[in-house]
Homo-oligomer: A and B are copies of this chain.
């Protein structure tokens, strides 16, 4: 596609809050929360309705460059190529994309009001524990969930038969040193607030790293093996056989 034609088309598409996708040959400079330069290559350019700009290389999950929503996108024709300037006054950053060739491009007004329905988060796990307290222990009695303190929020807070407080930190995946740090921070704060030295710390997760387990036990805390509530039956039912061939 002619580079001047692209410039005009992109400019009006941005103004109309259309989404733009393109294959381009370009070179990129970023300055803001860091500084970056990427030499010439073929990439995917995506400009969204809210002026989010995303650039992908041909491989990998993450964009190689991006600008956050609400940026100012302008195009400048220079010789035989187009310079796309993206500026964000909020975080004082800018992205310059020097576009040498446009292989393919499309722009369109996209309509999508849907929100994703997602299950299996850590919040679901703390719900699950509140509703099934024996997962933590036979005498665990939940009092609150997502309890706010000035040092962060406690996933599940409760007490045992003797009335001693219990702090539960949940991780939906393998618990690490950082999870133990969090648990320790909450337990210490509860001790201060409640004026007691007897507070139980429980780390609930499907697994835990060896170092985290050592550290956990050195603080006198306990690990509870808990699976996050997910419905993987469908995978096992529908897909397992496929991979067995």
Which of B28, B61, B114 touches A52 (beta carbons < 8 Å)?
B61
- Inter-chain CA distance A32–B114, complex, in Å, is 21
- Inter-chain CA distance A41–B49, complex, in Å, is 15
Interface string of A66-78 (1 = CB under 8 A from B): 1011000000000
**Chain A interface, >50% SS class:** mixed
**A210 shortest CB reach to chain B, Å:** 9
A239, B92: Cβ atoms closer than 8 Å = yes
- Inter-chain CA distance A58–B13, complex, in Å, is 13
Tell whether A42 is near chain B: CB-to-CB under 8 Å.
Answer: yes
Which of B21, B89, B173, B235 touches A93 (beta carbons < 8 Å)?
B235
Q: A34-B118, A108-B103 are in contact. Are A46 and B41 (CB under 8 A)?
A: no
For chain A, the bracket of interface size reads: 35 or more
Interface residues of A in 1-26 (CB under 8 A from B): 19, 21-23
| A150 contact set on B, CB distance < 8 A | 211
- Inter-chain CA distance A116–B57, complex, in Å, is 11
B116, A230: Cβ atoms closer than 8 Å = no
Tell whether A131 is near chain B: CB-to-CB under 8 Å.
Answer: no
A92, B235: Cβ atoms closer than 8 Å = yes
Q: A42-B110, A49-B59, A110-B43 are in contact. Are A116 and B64 (CB under 8 A)?
A: yes
The CB with the most chain B CB atoms within 10 A, among A56, A93, A117, A234, is that of: A56
Tell whether A193 is near chain B: CB-to-CB under 8 Å.
Answer: no
A61, B69: Cβ atoms closer than 8 Å = yes
Closest B residue, CB atoms, query A93: B235
B119, A35: Cβ atoms closer than 8 Å = yes
9 pairs of residues in contact across A and B, judged by CB atoms under 8 Å: A21-B44, A23-B108, A33-B173, A43-B112, A49-B59, A50-B60, A54-B61, A61-B66, A92-B232
The 5 closest A-B pairs by CB, nearest first: A41-B112, A34-B120, A104-B106, A181-B181, A42-B110
